Amino acid sequence: MKSKANIGITLVIVFIVTLIVGIMLHLKGHGIIIQPRGVLKTVHWIFGYAMTVLIFVHWRQFHKMLKAFRKKFRWFYVDTVLLIILFIATFLTGTVKLFSSVKIPHLGLWHYWMGLAMSIAAVVHLIRALPAWNRMRRCARS
């Protein structure tokens, strides 16, 4: 149980860093360039892919529980499925942007908006999951 809580805490920290650095990178479109830009891109890339690994581990830990929640906790289930879809869209647009040899118009903006939508869904997911997370932490201590 303790490892599940630790993965969750690590996921939240990595998510926050990825979100903040992503917003800092987006500010270039508004004429605000934060330097060193290359370092920010690298941090965003590393933390984004670390978040991908942690999300996969988190999903493996809780996917059976999520299936059980489908009927009893419908809104939590819906939010989690929406979060997964938005994460995949954000991941794909970011990966295509990173590895594409040509600049695809508006792809960065799509990645940014998908990331913001995913962030909102993640915050809702976290708020709805906190009571269960607190119970897990209490069980891990005893």
How do residues 58-99 score in pLDDT, each as one tens digit? Answer: 999 989 988 888 888 888 889 999 999 999 999 999 999 999
Q: Which of 10-14, 18-22, 53-57, 71-75 is the least confident region?
A: 71-75
Burial of 29 (0-12, 13-18, 19+ CB in 10 A): exposed
Helix ranges (DSSP H) in the chain = 2-26, 37-72, 74-99, 107-141
Report the predicted TM-score, pTM, of the whole model to 2 decimal places: 0.87
- Rounded Cα distance, 23 and 27, in Å: 6
- The pLDDT assigned to 65 comes to 85
For all residues of the chain together, what is the average pLDDT?
A: 91
- The ranges assigned to domains in the chain are 2-141
